[in-house]
A and B are shown apart, each in its own frame.
Chain A
Amino acid sequence: MTGSRERVRRSLVRIGAMAQKETIHVLRDPRTLYLALVMPVVMLFLFGYGVTTDLERIPLAVADADRSEASRALVRTLTESGELALAGEVAPADADRLFRRGHAAAVLVIPEDYEERLARREPVELQLLADASDVSSANQLLSKADALVRAESRRLSAAALAPAAPPLSVKVRTLYNPAARSALFLVPGLAAYILAITAILLTTLTVAGEWERGSMEQLFASPVGRLEIVLGKLLPYLVLAMLELLLVIAFGAAVFDVPVMGKPPLLIAMGFFFVVGMLGQGLLVSVVTKNQLLATQVGLISALLPSLLLSGMVFPIENMPLPLQLLSRVIPARYMVHALREILLKGNGLDVLWPDLLAVVVFALLVIALSTARFKRRLA
């Protein structure tokens, strides 16, 4: 029947008109372009450099009870790389006082029979007292000290000063990020985070703006349908957000040496559905609030906090209490962060990442359906 084909054609014309109008809005408003294309790069630089969690010159005090040639050699090995810095020699009992004043982050206690036991080729136990009030620094410190002590023990074995078996067993292994660089860990998370925020901001502003301007009433008096408004508004911002994703990944690769090990199509697909979901969430917020200021605030809070705190971008999800772990399951950024890391750093494919893709697709469909349903074409 020609009637239904004509209906579809008209519907497409209306969606096209919406999309074209939004595009002109975007092109005429430099703030939108700035928000979408400049801010993400600025944020990437700020976070990438500023939030690097790599510590350098951690102040380490030494309580050397042995005061031997061997113990001095150990301290030298620990401090000469620059990651740990000698903060002075103290008595073990003084550790507490040092921590409180912030003079040292850790105290290495060397037993008085250190050289003797090495000479007898017996294992030695070194004690590292760490100030764990800053957990993430303490963890780094432990892994660094551990690596350095292992290096020393290898040196000793080679010099045949120690038992044939290494004096310390190796417990920590670093995979996929062998240099333990924060940027590699952060940038994929950051990409998801930046995308979430800008995508939500882009749409919260536009729909709430129509309400405030009164043009929504004009639209409602025309034959433009709800889904047509929603789709027409999403299209231009989708294009913009996809450009943004590529931009962030390109900058991550160029500036922070983040590799792209996996397949670009999967990356694009993940990004596409994630962005649709985030744009849809912004749409939902502005459909409900109908006010630009409120929409921006609700949009930011509903996107920013979960994407930052619950996505695993900074804090590992496995370390969260169970309720938060469950909550993180409904945060799409969680799946995006995970998938981006897997794709970029490990080169994993759809066989591993299909649950992530499924999650963002479901979220996208859900918010679009919800915002279309909440979108009342009558004023009251």
Chain B
Amino acid sequence: MTPATATAAPTVEARELTRRFGAFLAVDRVSFEVERGEIFGYLGANGAGKSTTIRMLTGLLAPTSGAGRVAGHDLATEPEGVKASIGYMSQKFSLYLDLPVRENLIFFGGAYGLWGKALERRADEVLALADLGDAGDAITGDLPGGVRQRLALASAILQRPQVLFLDEPTAGVDPVARRTFWRVIRDLAREGTTVFVTTHYLDEAEYCRRIGLMVDGKLVALDTPAGLKARWVPERLLVARGRDLARAVERARDLPGVKNVMRFGAALHLRVEPGALSEQDAAAALRAGGASEVVVEAAEPTLEDVFLAVVGAGGRGEEGSP
């Protein structure tokens, strides 16, 4: 395993990547670059084209047009080079349920050309890395979801890949297991592995250095979480809680400086031009509109706000899953 050559060149590069399935345009001229050691989050609703992009970058799917390079290898001309330098964890858990945990690792290590003592050592290493130290002899099918996901991750990093592609790695996993999972991913990135991860958990996206937002096959936004918030949610965000807020929605909309009012579960989110409306004034207006027990606080915008703003700007009423 040669260490990734430290260069200024990006580890993952997509140029106008496009994939069509019949008349359906799954991925539409997507371009981006991911640097070495970066955790790159790829966000979007189901069917937005996240998995299709990953499958093109891992050589599983041929692009209809456009080009890409992964770890210095061209997708079209050096697919074997791409495959040898990446780890891939697909959306569906795809290790062998009837095999013991360690046998799965031994097999996938063999698939990458590892063998003998080195393979044994590496299998133990990744077991420890993924917090699976004593699960080696368990039958894979008996493991709970969160542990399986860590096993799949362990299997994807056996060959010390330069780039790790994770497709919805934490789907259906409980929050504690998700946190453990992300700790492992951040450790890997610190050691220089580039991580390309799709998710629809917006809280997880905060772990990413940069985020790309996919809407209907198009990459509509790409920046750091802070940059995305500054760009897409420049206004102040006021969060109002209380009873009967629904009655006061119209009144809130008409307040000076309010750009947009959105219901977030039981709460209202008011986007307000900087310096236009104080918390107290907003609370008073809502009470006047018929709500009671109103508390209004200024809040940091979340990626969820960004996501809704982006989707809203695209003129689509689609809601991101929380």
Contacts and interface: CB of A to CB of B under 8 A. Distances in A.
A213 B94 contact: yes
Nearest to B155: A218
A214 B90 contact: yes
Given A16-B115, A223-B84, A25 B90 contact: no
B108 interface: yes
A378 B60 contact: yes
B110 A16 contact: yes
Interface string B175-188: 00000000000000
A10 B96 contact: no
A28 B98 contact: yes
A24 interface: yes
A215 B110 contact: no
A380 B111 contact: no
B114 interface: yes
A221 B87 CA distance: 8
A17 B107 contact: yes
Nearest to B85: A223
Interface range on chain A (Cβ under 8 Å from partner): 20 to 34
A222 B107 contact: no
Interface string B103-127: 1001111111111000000000000
Contact of A13 (B21, B83, B110): B110
B59 interface: yes
Given A20-B107, A25-B96, A29-B98, A222 B83 contact: yes
A290 to B, nearest CB: 14
Contact of A21 (B62, B83, B96): B96
A236 to B, nearest CB: 13
Contact of B110 (A14, A29, A213): A14
B93 interface: yes
B231 to A, nearest CB: 34
Contacts of B107: 17-18, 20-21
A13 B112 CA distance: 9
A90 interface: no
Interface in A215-230: 215, 217-224
B162 interface: no
A73 B232 CA distance: 114
Contacts of B97: 213
Contact of B95 (A16, A17, A215, A378): A215
A218 B90 contact: yes
B86 A214 contact: no
Nearest to A209: B96
Contact of B88 (A28, A221, A224): A221
A13 B60 CA distance: 22
Given A213-B96, A217-B90, A222-B108, A378 B61 contact: yes
Contact of B103 (A10, A13, A24): A24
A274 B40 CA distance: 52
In the complex, which of the residues A13, A14, A29, A379 has the most CB atoms of chain B within 10 Å of its own CB atom? A13
Nearest to A217: B90
A18 B113 CA distance: 11
Contact of B60 (A10, A16, A220, A223): A220
Nearest to A224: B111
Given A217-B90, A223-B83, A21 B60 contact: no
A379 B63 CA distance: 12
Nearest to B108: A222
B55 interface: yes
Contact of A214 (B62, B92, B108, B113): B92
A218 to B, nearest CB: 4
A28 B106 CA distance: 16
B80 interface: yes
B99 interface: yes
A262 B165 CA distance: 58
In the complex, which of the residues A14, A21, A379 has the most CB atoms of chain B within 10 Å of its own CB atom? A21
Contacts of B106: 17, 20
A10 B109 CA distance: 11
Interface in A195-220: 213-215, 217-220
A344 B296 CA distance: 94
B100 to A, nearest CB: 8
B86 to A, nearest CB: 7
A25 B93 contact: no
Contacts of B111: 14, 17-18, 219, 222-224
B170 interface: no
A17 B119 CA distance: 11
B60 A221 contact: yes
A216 to B, nearest CB: 8
A28 B99 contact: yes
A29 B97 CA distance: 12
A25 B96 CA distance: 9
Contacts of B94: 213-215, 217-218
B55 A379 contact: yes
A213 B112 CA distance: 20
A379 to B, nearest CB: 5
A218 B110 contact: no
A221 B84 CA distance: 9
B59 A380 contact: no
Nearest to B58: A221
B93 A214 contact: yes
A110 B318 CA distance: 97
Interface string B27-47: 000000000000000000000
A13 B84 CA distance: 14
Given A24-B99, A378-B62, A379-B55, A222 B90 contact: no
A25 B83 CA distance: 25
Given A214-B94, A378-B60, A378-B61, A17 B109 contact: yes
B92 A221 contact: no
Question: Which 9 residue pairs spanning A and B have beta carbons closest together?
Answer: A17-B110, A10-B113, A214-B94, A221-B88, A214-B92, A21-B107, A215-B94, A218-B94, A222-B111
11 contacts: A13-B113, A17-B115, A20-B106, A25-B99, A29-B98, A214-B92, A218-B88, A218-B90, A222-B112, A223-B83, A380-B61
Interface of A: 10, 13-14, 16-18, 20-21, 24-25, 28-29, 213-215, 217-224, 378-380
Given A14-B111, A21-B107, A28-B99, 5 more contacts: A13-B115, A24-B99, A25-B98, A25-B99, A378-B59
